[in-house]
Structure 1
Amino acid sequence: MPLQSRFLSQIDVLSDKFIKVFKERGGQIGRRLQNILEPMAQDDVDLVRECIIKGLCVYLNEDPSNLMTEHVATDEGVIQQSIEETTMGIYIIKSRDASDSPEDIGIVLEGQRVLQDLDNCALAAAMLFGLMYTLNLTYPPELMYTFEVFQKLVMELEGNSLSKKALVLKNRLYE
């Protein structure tokens, strides 16, 4: 199965449904989702995908900063120390002006940069999922539901049994 094209196209196909479900969510999570969806007005496909992925984390009551960590390129030593302390995730290094496009986007496993210079955050999420799935790594507990949704709803792999959270999301997506 072609990982990159499948993951990104499925995010695109499901994006309207995800946005509808996110906008219906109320309470504190609903407010956090609104803040995450705000940048989507810029009409940038990569930004929309990134917002969908972050929104998915929030919707599933997980912290998107456990998946994607942004660093402002000030001191390479501080950035390297933060990366070494990361078990698994995506790092985004931006210049001093955080509104600029990132200087580097990459993947960290066990404190080591395993991929770098990726084009965008959605591609990095696809590659991270692919590494986790291929290497048969256990999904981190703080992102367990997000990776389950990536695997079973987005990529449609082994989707026979879903956790309650993933099942509720699937039912709301297809209402």
Structure 2
Amino acid sequence: MYRVVGCRNCQALWTVEGRPETTQCPRCRTRYRLEKLRSFAETETSAAAARVRSAMLAERSDDGEFVDPEEIDIDAVGMDEVAFLSASGVDPDAVAAAEERIEGSGRSRSRKQVVLDGLEELDEPTAAELTAYAEAAGLEEGFVERALDRLRRAGEVTRTDEGYRKL
């Protein structure tokens, strides 16, 4: 459970997870017993609590008083990805460019995941079959041998007379 609480000194709002005995205002550092603080909202997820807090900050009256939490529709408070990134200080265009580079590279899986996928898709593959599978996915030959050795030592795969298989 998450709560949105407010400081009596500086009117800062913050979220508190669970039921700690005390909590501290992030702005003025005043420490409060949680039971003495006014709880503006209680939610099941931290994301919902963050939305309530954001809505309360956005709708704060001109005199700095808190708005009535009963007037806030938790489900209606939302923010699109571009607005969220901008508010977080991240350039949305740079994020979009990075996404395009990742999608264009064809490497949406990690190198280890390519080897594990080969073990799943191929029926007890040999090292040569796994190497061919991994090379088709863009991996270098030497990596497959090292990955198989690490996976075998970690107990994730075993080597049989026929080839390799996942445990």
TM-score under structure 1 length normalisation? 0.25
- Larger RCO, structures 1/2 (Cα 8 Å, 6+ apart): 1
* Structure with the higher helix share, 1 or 2: 1
